[in-house]
């Protein structure tokens, strides 16, 4: 929950830049999601133009539509970062 609190403090009152293709917020667990919603953090992300997702892998494995394309960048709290993990040719910044 600490990472979501810190991220919400940064984006509060701001908007996702028009140059950003997609801004996803994916809580690490159902418990973290529930706590974040109880604190109203999801409303801050939504107001900034971000997507509030269900907990799960999302971009962590690039096994679904949530993946980076070549030359795209991702800011992530993932605990793994190796070439191609979040999409072929993409860059992950922890």
Same domain, 39 and 19: yes
Phi, psi angles (nearest 5°) of residue 36: -60, -40
The span from the CA of 47 to the CA of 43, in Å, is 6
Same domain, 67 and 28: no
Q: What percent of the chain clears pLDDT 70, i.e. is strictly above it?
A: 100
Same domain, 41 and 65: no
Same domain, 12 and 50: yes
Could you list the beta-strand ranges (E) of 1-88: 24-25, 51-52, 73-75
Bridge-based pairing state of the strands 91-93 and 73-75: parallel
- State the DSSP string of 52-67: E--SS-GGGS--SS--
Counting the structural domains of the chain, the total is: 2
Same domain, 6 and 35: yes
Confidence band for 15, pLDDT divided at 50, 70 and 90: very high
Summarised one tens digit per residue, pLDDT across range 70-86 is 988 888 777 777 788 88
Same domain, 43 and 14: yes
> Where in the sequence is the domain holding 79, given as residue range(s)?
58-94
Summarised one tens digit per residue, pLDDT across range 34-51 is 999 999 999 999 999 999
Q: Which residues pair with 53 in a beta bridge?
A: none
Same domain, 25 and 65: no
């Amino acid at each position: 929950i600490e990472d979501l609190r810190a991220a919400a403090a940064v984006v509060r009152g701001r908007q996702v830049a028009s140059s950003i293709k997609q801004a996803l917020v994916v809580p690490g667990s159902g418990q973290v999601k529930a706590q974040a919603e109880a604190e109203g953090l999801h409303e801050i992300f939504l107001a900034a133009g971000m997507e509030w997702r269900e907990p799960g892998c999302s971009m962590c494995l690039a096994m679904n539509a949530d993946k980076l394309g070549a030359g795209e960048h991702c800011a992530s709290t993932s605990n793994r970062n190796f070439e191609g993990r979040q999409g072929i040719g993409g860059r992950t910044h922890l």
